[in-house]
Each structure stands twice: as structure tokens, then as C-alpha cells.
Structure 1
């Protein structure tokens, strides 16, 4: 939904608004049209921002339509309720991760033994739940990702790449489970009809399960899923790439959502 200038893939004359700053500098943008329509979308639909970003990284974004009753960060590791992390969700998830996978410390140690600064610029741990590398994509050794994923899988983890980042994630941590939990809460409270359709958008391998679980889904014609040529019977693929794909996705949501009453 938001794009750095390097990811625009569009003419520089395009009208945009900045929705994220880092240390005072503009970082991420939407088209002005997408920003206006994002506000429109929140009227007929329960919009749940869902991201692999950490809580701190998510809180840098000023996405049109805020404030959000619910948001999902850390790839489903955290559910925010009115901006506050739901500790019961996180405690239960941490317990499942401990019971079903190798520890984060063990994974970190093994990963560090496999990397060097010839292709890795940063090693980060996200909300004490998973880790990721920031890499120089053209310098990543052939077979590195496949070999690292093969080590992770029997230990309850997986590895995937999204642009300059290689994520190492517990299998128990996924966006679709957190989305299902938020949907259950909204349904149980009567805020959402049990027959309401679930719509989802994403562009990376970590989004695939969430897209499969949706009644209808959309992905842009760029990113990791495009590179994998990933598809599904419920899936629409945008015509546009880059920041204009974000605008197309919001238009698709508006068209697919029920009319406001």
C-alpha cells in the first residue's frame, strides 16, 4: 500500500503524499488519489492494517483512515487494540512457538554462522519473535536462501526473501491466524456479520497463506509473489506495478466491499 521513491515505477510528476518519515526524512508514499480513497474505504469496511513490520516500524506510518481499532504487526505476532499490544495473544503465541520450534537464540546463532558482510548489511531481531537480514540482493550466494530454509523447516521455522530482506520466521507466526482472531472478535461483538466477506492484499511469500484464506484476494504485478508466479483461484492480479498498483488495490477493495449504509 505504501512505497519508497525507489519503488514508484511511475513518472516523477505523479501527485503523492508522504505517509512515513524516518528520523525526520520522508520515506514512504501513496498517490494522492490512493490516500483519498483509503479514507473512503474505512466507511463500509472493517479495515485491519496487517504487516510484517514491528510495532515501532508500524507506528511510524500515518496511513489515511486512522485511528485503527485493530492492527496486526510482526507478521501476526502482535495484535494492536486501539494501538495497545494485546498481551494475551502474544503470551499464547510465544508459548506455541516455544513448544513447536527451535529457540530464536538457536536460530540466530546458526544464521550468523552462515553470513558475512560481503552480502549482509544488517541483522535485525523483530519484537523478540523473528529475525531478518538486510542484504545486497545481487551478492547473495547462489543457493543460500534454499539451503537456509532447508535447515529451518525441520526446526519449525521458514526463510523467505522480500526485496532486500531475508526473513526467518517461526511457522506458528503467520498473518492469517491473527486476521482470523480479529475477525472472530468483531463477529462475536456484533460489529461484523458472520457472512461478511474477507478481502486481503499482499505481495510477499509471508502473505500467501493470508491471501489463500480470504474470500477474495489481490496482489500487485511486482514483488516476491510475482517473481514466484504465485496464483490462487480467489486471486486478482493488478494491471499496474509500483505505486500505481497500490492505487489499483484500493480501488479493488472499494469495488469489492459492501456499500456504506
Structure 2
């Protein structure tokens, strides 16, 4: 098999897959009486949790057969493995916001060791950050506090009762200690600076080039909706984000980043069509044609 000239990386939640409440693009809730046909791709405790449009399923399956596609998510390994994501089996997947790389479904211990070393070197260790966070929260507005894959803590909060200054104050404390804070819907993540999707994606790209599966000058495409995706969108040669989510709320724009016309689950099919058009231009056409598609 010849080396591919394109590498695709895509976020999952609210980019490719959608909860019942997010299908319409509105995180506060919507019904499912949409013209979009969708199927459940993740069950939790016996109930349906995440959905994909049938168009996205068909197109993602075809795309992954044509070029390397890297699922890239802030989900833990176990949460990622719950998803019946079309295009599997995946040679590589990035979980835990880049803290883990899965190779043929198994965590790469060498990469995780490097991440743990970098986190210790760059700033405060998880245990200290976790302890400090515990002193700043209250059950009146935090429904749960968890640690993802022994890498970073995150809160599930009530947005109607969270103190107005919590995020800003907590972010200020973290910034000088090698950590950062991001909110995605009701979840507030506290992330070590050493952990990022772009860093893990660069590692996967290098491995694919070394293995002869990707050309050294391959074009990188990416998609995502949240602030934790921003570094990955900037790392890519061309990227796309849906017209919803945290980046939309921030009006986050970059010259190389396209914004979908649609929002909600309809945006996912638009994103995969965008990916496919670029892959076709790079594989059959020229790099100039691919660049023209992004304008």
C-alpha cells in the first residue's frame, strides 16, 4: 500500500458523535424530530448515550478506508472503547486529551511514560492540583469530581449555581503551575500543559511517516468544537470546526480554520464531506486544489 498524502484527526463528542441533548446543536436540549437519520453508537448502563447520523457513518467508514484517520478525544480509554465508531479497527487512536495513544486498541506505555515525565517536569503534580481543587468546590454546584486515567481531574457542574468567579480564579491559580482550565458544556477540565491533542497527533504522524504509511510532507486535517481542540486545529494545515460548542461561543477564528454552515448533528456530515473533498483533491488532484477548498 502506498503512503498516504493526507492525515485526518477528528474530535468525537459534539464533532462526530452527539448525545440526545446535543443532536440539534443546543446543549440545553432538543427533541429528536429532525430530518437527520441517526443511529446510536454508544450505550451506557444499558441506555443509549451517543448518536451519529447515517450519512456521517457511511462517509467516515469510506474516509478511513481511503486515508489514515485518527480518532482524537478527551475521553478516557474506557469511555472511548464504549463507542462503536465506524471505520474501526483503528491502528491509532488518541484518548485522554493526548495523554494516551492507543496502538491497535492498546495503550502505548512508552508514550504514557513520556507524558508522565513531562508533567512532573513542567509543573505541579496531579495529587497537589487535585487537593487544591477539592478546597475550592462545593456540592451545591458540583455533582461529581473525577480523575481521568490518572492524568487530570474534571468536574461536572451545575451551570446555574456555579460561582461566577470560579473558572477565572481557578485558571489563574493553574496557569502559573503548568496547568490550564477549560469548560466543555457542564464539564470543567483541569489539564497539565504537557498533555495536548496536538502533541499526541505529532507523535502519531511521525510514526506513520517512519512506517511508510504517510508521506513526509503529508497534509494534516483536523476537526473539533472545544477549547481543548484548539491546539490541534492550529497544528493542522487545514481544519474545520462546527458552528456550535465552546469555540463557537468564543468566536474562535483562524485563517486556516473553516466553520460549518450547519450546527448539531448535521455539522458532522458536513465535516466528513469536507475531509473527503480534501483527500480527493490531494490524492487525485493537487495541493493547490486542496488549499482552494479551504477558502
TM class by shorter chain equals over 0.9
Whole-angstrom distance in 1 between the partners of 2:263 and 2:139: 32
Encode CA deviations 1:13-32: one digit per residue, 9 max, x unaligned. Answer: 53111111102211000111
Contact 2:60 2:272 in 1 (8 A): yes
Encode CA deviations 1:7-54: one digit per residue, 9 max, x unaligned. Answer: 111634531111111022110001111111111111221000000000
Whole-angstrom distance in 1 between the partners of 2:268 and 2:77: 22
Encode CA deviations 1:136-190: one digit per residue, 9 max, x unaligned. Answer: 1122111211110000011100111000100000001000010000000000111
What residue is the counterpart of 1:247 in the other structure?
Answer: 269
2:216 aligned counterpart, secondary structure: coil
* 1:210 and 2:232 matched: yes
What residue is the counterpart of 1:17 in the other structure?
Answer: 39
Whole-angstrom distance in 1 between the partners of 2:21 and 2:159: 15
Whole-angstrom distance in 2 between the partners of 1:12 and 1:221: 17
What residue is the counterpart of 2:200 in the other structure?
Answer: 178
Contact 1:48 1:70 in 2 (8 A): yes
What residue is the counterpart of 1:49 in the other structure?
Answer: 71
What residue is the counterpart of 1:82 in the other structure?
Answer: 104
Contact 1:8 1:242 in 2 (8 A): yes
Per mean C-alpha deviation after superposition, the further-off stretch among 174-183 and 95-104 is 95-104
Residues 65-76 of structure 1 correspond to what in structure 2 (within 5 A)? 65-76=87-98
Per mean C-alpha deviation after superposition, the further-off stretch among 250-259 and 160-169 is 250-259
Number of aligned positions between the proteins: 261
What residue is the counterpart of 1:190 in the other structure?
Answer: 212
Which structure carries more relative contact order (alpha carbon 8 Å, separation 6+)? 2
Please, what TM-score do these two structures have when normalized by structure 1?
0.97
Per mean C-alpha deviation after superposition, the further-off stretch among 8-17 and 242-251 is 8-17
Encode CA deviations 1:48-87: one digit per residue, 9 max, x unaligned. Answer: 0000000000000011010000000000000000001000
Query: Where in structure 2 are there 5+ consecutive unaligned residues?
Result: 1-15, 25-31, 285-295
Q: Which runs of at least 4 in structure 1 moved beyond 4 Å after TM superposition?
A: none
2:127 is matched with which residue: 98, 101, 105?
A: 105
